[in-house]
Structure 1
Amino acid sequence: MAITTTDPLLGRLVDGRYEIVSRLARGGMATVYLATDRRLDRDVAIKVMHPHLADGVDGAAFVSRFRREARAAARLTHPGVVAVYDQGLDGETSYLVMEYVPGTNLRRELHTEGTLTVRRTLDVLAQVLAALAAAHRKQLVHRDIKPENVLVAADPDAPQDADDADGDDRSPVRDRVKVADFGLARAVTEVTSTATGTILGTVAYLAPEVVTSGACDARTDVYAVGVLAYEMLTGVLPYAGEPPLQVAFHHVHEDFPTPSERVPWLPDDVDRLVASCTARNPGARPADAAAVLEAVERLRSTLADDVLDLRADPPARPADARTVPADDEAPGTSAAGDEGTDAVDEIPAGFFQEVSAPDRATDRLVEQPTEAWDAADGPPRRRGRVVAWTLVPLLLLGGGGVGTWWWFADGPGAWTTVPADVAGLPADDAQETLEAAGLGTTSSRAFDDEVPAGEVVTTQPAPGEPVRTDGTVEIVVSRGVQMLAVPRELVGADHGKAMAALESAGFDLSPAARVHDDEAAEGTVLGVSVPEGSRQRHDLLVRLTVSDGPAPVQVPQEVGKEKDEALADLEGLGLRVELAEPEYSEEVPDGHVMAQSPEHGSTAHRTDTVTVTLSLGPPLVDVPDVVGMRSDQARKALEKAGFQVDENAYLGGLLDTVRFQDTTGEAPKGSTVTLTVW
């Protein structure tokens, strides 16, 4: 039979602003509705938290945490994150207003497709990781990554008919992925773990450390992303169908299986990516989503197109499994926080169906029919045995449930939170505070630039984080600012060796100052910005002054200049001068530069050597003896030898005979020989 009920929130105006139009989804934490923001005239998704979360003595604490986490999520702006617009409390209704994302979610896509191609898987992972990387940079952890929280937005410009996509899962309709529910998991987990010892979350995606200690950081999201990748590639979760506690046991005590165990043709690189994300030890995982995103991009660039386009065969599903939305679900719509059933708050398939058509304001609950025993079914004794064998496992399960409840509620598995006011206290005071809360303490010391030495920097788990009631909290005590010793003998050392010495000492370096120096070879350290051997802050940037060698100069023209002038020019530029053996020259006067090397216009460096060749003037030649010759014969002989001739004639040169010559032996070629003729 079917029972029809009316949702009291449908048609209601929340906080005088948001008109509830229809219900989109219901999950373990909240119900999501499509609403109209009357003030801004736009569609929004409004998430109304289940009333029981705000009930009881911890209700106020939940509302406070819910508001805090909503504010943190609202500060996160990224195209891949569902935007948070508003949050508030209307009477007893705690609500969160978020961006409405028309489309579907990854869970429904997996139900429809069964599995995704390698290309589609890597594309979804890249978009999810980009959103998580933005959150991790702001120290915000999602804590509940699962297909229900990965929204696949419809592209209004893309064809909506399935035939238009040609069966290609790279269709533009599926290209925009957004991540929803940042902060909600943290807010709900904090209040429920304190009140009941329950870890609220989807156990199939929970990292081992969340199960064992409640610890949670960016690597917890990385683990869930690895599980998500496995599910997209294989179409199933590795421990599907097992009770939540048994699933948690697998995560804690067994290595997560590789996708190739189900899909043998998957490359080893895909297995390595999933294995690194799902390592049981958080320290073996990538530090955050940004690191995984780099690995995904590298993997996508290395895989061949034929591998990227492969898809595993969809897994066999039970005959009654729902693979498409029911008739009264609005296909192709999703909203921020469209949740399926959580593993710890599961609603049997077929028991509950959501209504999301705007013109329908009722929910249909389907009751499973009950069958009466008939005498024809068998003798009473047989029926008694059937009832007995049915009750025994139920009693065992009930006993186990009570034991589990006691363990987590009042036993050693119960949880509390680390006091929030221990940071900044002196170490002894922090220890007293923690011990007063019933927690054991250990301590470690760490350098800190802000917290004075001897005071508490933080705790592990951090203040406000969950911890077992009989657990131990590590107090991290400040050692003050870390001071490092500057190495000695840096000046005069090679630049590379000096850098290595400073980096080994723990310093970061600013770019070196490069200067020319006539004495120090290129690459030699000339100076350090801090005294050698001194102690400096670890975050101080050290700057080295490094020689670029002698400065470049252009060689001037010195040929034809007198020796002293040429030397002054060259030495004034920092060049060294080397004098070559002088040579005779009929063109260049004695004592002047007749040649240089390098030639003028060449580029040299200070302290380089310029070789200068000076002129000795014309060469020496033998002077012909012309005494006794007629004057014209003497002139011809001297001129032939290269001399100039000058005559002094007495008595008018009466006898025309050379009586004397002023130069004999050797004389510079071209010089003048004077003859006396009479």
Structure 2
Amino acid sequence: MTTTQGQQRPVGQLVDGRYLIVGKIAEGGMASVYQARDQRLGRQVALKIMHAQLAQGPHAQEYIERFHREARSAAAVSNPHIVPVYDTGTYDGRSYLIMELIQGVTLRQELDSHKTFSVHETLVILTQILEGLAAAHEARVIHRDIKPENIMITRHGQIKITDFGLAKATSQETLSATGMLLGTASYLAPEMIEDNISSPQSDLYSLGIVGWEMLTGHTPFSSANPVTVVFKHVHDDVPTLESVDPRIPHPVSEFIASLVERDPRRRPENGFEALRQIRVVSHQVSPEQGAIRLSPRPATASSSSPSSSPSSLSSPDSSYAPIPATPGRTGKPTIRQVPQKTKPSDLPSFLADSSSGEKTLPAPLPPVSPAEQRAKEENRTKALPQEKPKKKHQARLLILAGILALFMAIAGLTWFLVGPGSYYVLPYSPGASCVTDPASSNQTCSIRGIDFRSYKTTLDQEGIPYHVIYAFDDTIPAGKIVSANHETLGSHINKRHDSLKITVSKGVRMLTIPSDIATATSAHGKKPLETLKKLGFTRIIHHPSQDEYSLTVPRGAVTSIDPKPGSRIKHNAPVTVVLSLGQKDVAMPSIIGLEWSQAQPMLAQARLQVTVKRVYSSDIAKDHVISASAQAGAQLHWNDKVTVTVSLGPLTVTVPDVTGMSYGEAKKKLEDLGFTVTRKTGFGLGDTVIDQSLESGMKVPVDQLDSDKGTIELTTGLFSFGF
């Protein structure tokens, strides 16, 4: 099958020998979605397959990576509010994903149909979205593209988050390696636009815009130009919902405002914290407030819904359609009072009536003029029967009823101000540690040591607001409660003037000994003890008496450390440090006149670098020290350089053997060596030397050649005629 054929007639094709394409569900700018049947497991699935032109285009690798990222991100999170990815692969050269088949509609479709949602409906939907985001954030996954198009509503009313194609791990610093801006203009957080950085708070900002749109029918910043929208997100504060319509409950307006703060540090920390807050808000909204539904403002030429602007600034998916203006509506939001017909089969229970599929509120009465009103009042007065004189016991009953009502009002006010209605009761936890007083047998249980995640569920169920900080602790395991401003279970927390503040353990603080701390020239090695203290080590063992001199390590640097550099240990584990005292001060030893064999160990003990110079000397015996470059007792340091002059003894000349030579030859040879030659005759013939006064091989000092010791007498034959 060719690629073109696969694109034209995918229905009936078997992908990877397993997924039989049944029919087409949707077509997007990046991929097509089909309904398929998993032949192996016998279930219906959704098959999302990339367009061929993207898989083969110049940016193919980028789109393929986005596909793979969607699979990895969805697979990393297990939650009923996130559409799972079952499988991934390549079909006909194009990447595909196998996902859960969702029977329902997108939140965008519902917004296009209903325009606005009631306060109650909005809170229900946002709560389920936050349950999914909380799980994603716990798995260190940021969605980065929360918008109505990526929120699915099943036929049973369950909310599911889809399209993790732009998701990333929280360990990544920026949106993409190239700095490309991804996401939808109307829902982008300011830090994603301005700094190219996303965080869990970025998802919460996008969700806040979604909630704002669900209640008002439009996004806070609308423009036909997405660049204008982006500029407003960065530089303008999102208007509060109460400023749009004062009937929006204050807790709801305040919660949405906290999500859309421009500074991410002022938003909830993550999905878990926002989920806790919205549950508290839901308890604060009355049924009457929950039923409030605003009519959307009319569309204008200068405004458009998010659907009418490109869905992303650099994403390949950019399909949209404008929302038409609604004639006959004013710009002021009002409670909807006209029947709104929907299809019950397509909507969850909180969006459609189960019997008729209509959601109807009372229609307003027609206006009445003052004259007509007076006439009606007169007719009504005439039509009323004349009352009979009241009896005395009726008056007494009214007085008693008034007293009873006043008593009940006072009792209710007392209950709310100082009674059980004025405070929360810190709930009991099965994991709490309790102490029994032997005298009274009363049991006191503490919040300390309780697992926070399980206790958090209890607090949320009780509707008790709380604030959490995380801190390292040496004794309480990670995830357990270290302390609270109310620690005794069963104690009261004033609803108006107090709140529960909990400190949760992060476990024992773990630190790493810098790998370069033993390098004297490194930033950490220059001041090692100060470095360890700044890093948070609390048991640094250093005894100055154990510091040692070193030939190579500068003073104050590390000569040894235990544990070794690079070790990761608890902050309160002992770290033993020995520092260098530098090179030791020494005195030059007295070595003049000593044999070199005696002087050498004395110099070695002083750790001096010695250069030996050997010279002839007639005064100093051989191998004895003649002089040194430093005087005895001079102040030196280890490794200082010293030159020592050692005697080679006197310079000598060796007497040669000249017997057998002619007298002339012998005389010349000896005189060339510096000797003085004399002659005597002996018994013999010829001019040959028959004897010499100094034996051959004898050594004569050079400085003695001019003395008698340098005179050699040669004996020749009696009848010699030589000179």
TM-score by structure 2 length? 0.42
Give the structure with higher Rg (CA). Answer: 2
Higher relative contact order (CA 8 A, sep 6+): 1
